[in-house]
Amino acid sequence: MDYFFEERENLRFDFYDVDSKSPNLSKHDFLGQMFCTLGEIVGSQGSRLEKSIVGIPGKKCGTVIVTAEELGCCRDSVLMQFCANKLDKKDFFGKSDPFLVFHRSNEDGSFTICHKTEVVKNTLNPVWQAFKISVRALCNGDYDRTIKVEVYDWDRDGSHDFIGEFTTSYRELSRGQSQFNVYEVINPKKKGKKKKYVNSGTVTLLSFLIETEVSFLDYIKGGTQINFTVAIDFTASNGNPSQPTSLHYMNPYQLNAYGMALRAVGEIIQDYDSDKMFPALGFGARLPPDGRVSHEFALNGNPQNPYCHGIDGVMEAYYRSLKCVQLYGPTNFAPVINHVARYAASVKDGSQYFVLLIITDGVISDMAQTKESIVNASKLPMSIIIVGVGPAEFDAMEELDGDVVRISSRGRFAERDIVQFVPFRDYIDRSGNHVLSMARLAKDVLAEIPEQFLSYMRVRGIKPSPAPPPYTPPIHVLQTQI
């Protein structure tokens, strides 16, 4: 099945004892079921999840082990270089201007162009530049599928002259430079007409190098943890939490915008964090007992240990804070960004990556400091998601997002784009179906994370750790009497 980091893909496994050939499940014994998400499986150590089977009250139904493996051949690319000798002369003045066209064959016998080389001018013995192509594009991952290569003489008016063609396959090419990879270029028309026709030249493979592209899942499988931190805006512009008009209103019957955004993003990211302990911070409030203003306080009231257990723990700490702090201001982002950056700076070996979710109602007060913090953080293993709630203008947030213009501070540009901003109001479903609209919100803010994660690893030259060995069940050795 297809895997998307940014989506919650729910799975259900049902277990039955087959009693007959009937296709009707009710005719067989139900043994239990297991629910999980695809993220839970790939986020487990070695992409191996062990979970209890449930569904029959008062009965232990055993456990199920599910492993996930990313399809491998799809990710290889090859770097190839070709040259040719003694090609047919096609131009009246001068020699030929040859180029190659590669086609992969389709299931129905037709061919699709997958690569064209550059034109080498005025020679019958061209050497083309090396080129890189994915194995998927070259042969759809099928090593024995026919690859057809045509040789043309380039003409300015686009009526390129056909010199000849040959066929090969990925398996043949993978032998590299050898006598097997010298191909006769044949022009079928000439071959049919002339008895003495041998060929229209030869094409030789000079080099063949396989490169495997590493994926986000290679790192997750190798044990990289994603640490999730939440920062919530407690400034007075949100409105008094006891009033229904407030963005922080604690409605007993449904989540407010802060709660919805937090759940939507948190429930997906939590699958990639093994201890499920999430630091939850607030900013812009006056704290008891003395009313000092803080821009990075622990929602659970414990500055030494701001960690909350699971998304439910974060929600609980958020509600607790609303009851005991006073909403104030200004709206400063830099302190919470720097808070996460301090942790990220201490583990730059690729074993951990940090995602900070900031939920805010708006207009930012410390723009210059925030830009500076983001430029500094762009060198660290971290990404920032900003969800804007309420009706305010979010122009400043669009600037931080950096999709149009890369963010800079005092002449220094961010090393990579690490901020993703979305306004919550774009996702409010008028019909009241919050489940679908929150799935859309999570998809849009999380979709860029794997690429941001990979860009950090690439720039630093960090390769994924090897995955732990696959699970093999213990073998019971039978003692035999001799």
pLDDT given at position 87: 95
Cα-flanking dihedrals φ and ψ of residue 236, to 5°?
A: -65, -25
pLDDT given at position 2: 85
- DSSP letters spanning 216-270: HHHHHHTT-EEEEEEEEE-BGGG--TTSTTSTT---SSS--HHHHHHHHHHHHHG
Confidence of residue 72 (pLDDT cuts 50, 70, 90): low
pLDDT given at position 241: 95
- CA 41 to chain centroid, in Å, comes to 16
User: Per the omega criterion (within 30 degrees of 0), is the bond before 468 cis?
Assistant: no
Reply yes or no on whether the pLDDT at 124 is more than 80: yes
Q: Count CB atoms within 10 A of the CB of residue 190.
A: 15
* Interval 177-193 mean pLDDT: 93
Task: Give the C-alpha distances (Å, rounded to integers) separating 411 from 65, 341, 377, 400.
Answer: 53, 21, 16, 15
Give CA–CA dist 183/168, Å, rounded.
9
Give CA–CA dist 41/67, Å, rounded.
7
Q: Is 363 helix (H, G, I), strand (E, B) or coil?
A: coil
Confidence of residue 82 (pLDDT cuts 50, 70, 90): very high
* Interval 453-460 mean pLDDT: 94
Instruction: Provide CB contacts within 8 A for 2, sequence distance 6+.
Output: none
SS3 content of the chain, % helix, strand, coil (to 5): 30, 30, 40
Among candidate residues 342, 228, 330, 237, the one with its CA nearest the CA of residue 281: 228
Are 116 and 151 spatial neighbours (Cβ–Cβ below 8 Å)?
no
Is the Cα torsion angle 451, 457, 458, 459 positive or negative in sign? positive
Tell the burial category of 310 from Cβ atoms under 10 Å away from its Cβ (0-12, 13-18, 19+). Answer: middle
Share of the chain above pLDDT 90, in %: 78
Q: Do domains 76-212 and 225-460 have the same CATH topology?
A: no
Residue 299 is given by DSSP the state T
Average pLDDT along the chain = 92
The domain ranges of the chain are 10-67, 76-212, 225-460
Q: Is 211 helix (H, G, I), strand (E, B) or coil?
A: strand
pLDDT given at position 477: 56
Q: Count CB atoms within 10 A of the CB of residue 265.
A: 24
Burial 380-406 (b: 16+ CB within 10 A, else e): bbbbbbbbbbbebebebbebbbbeeee
pLDDT tens sequence across 302-328: 999 999 999 999 999 999 999 999 999
Beta bridge partners of 54: 33
pLDDT tens sequence across 289-298: 999 999 999 9
* Interval 262-280 mean pLDDT: 94
Among candidate residues 421, 355, 419, the one with its CA nearest the CA of residue 387: 421
Confidence of residue 478 (pLDDT cuts 50, 70, 90): low
* Interval 455-472 mean pLDDT: 85
For residue 207, give the H/E element and its range. strand 202-212
Are 264 and 438 spatial neighbours (Cβ–Cβ below 8 Å)?
yes
Among candidate residues 267, 344, 213, 273, the one with its CA nearest the CA of residue 45: 273
Residue 470 amino acid letter: P
Tell the burial category of 461 from Cβ atoms under 10 Å away from its Cβ (0-12, 13-18, 19+). Answer: exposed
Residue 117 amino acid letter: T
Give CA–CA dist 362/365, Å, rounded.
9
Task: Give the C-alpha distances (Å, rounded to integers) separating 272 from 48, 155, 174, 352.
Answer: 13, 55, 37, 11
Q: Classify domain 225-460 by CATH number.
A: 3.40.50.410
pLDDT given at position 480: 55
Give CA–CA dist 140/133, Å, rounded.
11
Reply yes or no on whether the pLDDT at 284 is more than 60: yes
Give CA–CA dist 208/198, Å, rounded.
27
Does CATH place domain 76-212 in 2.60.40.150?
A: yes
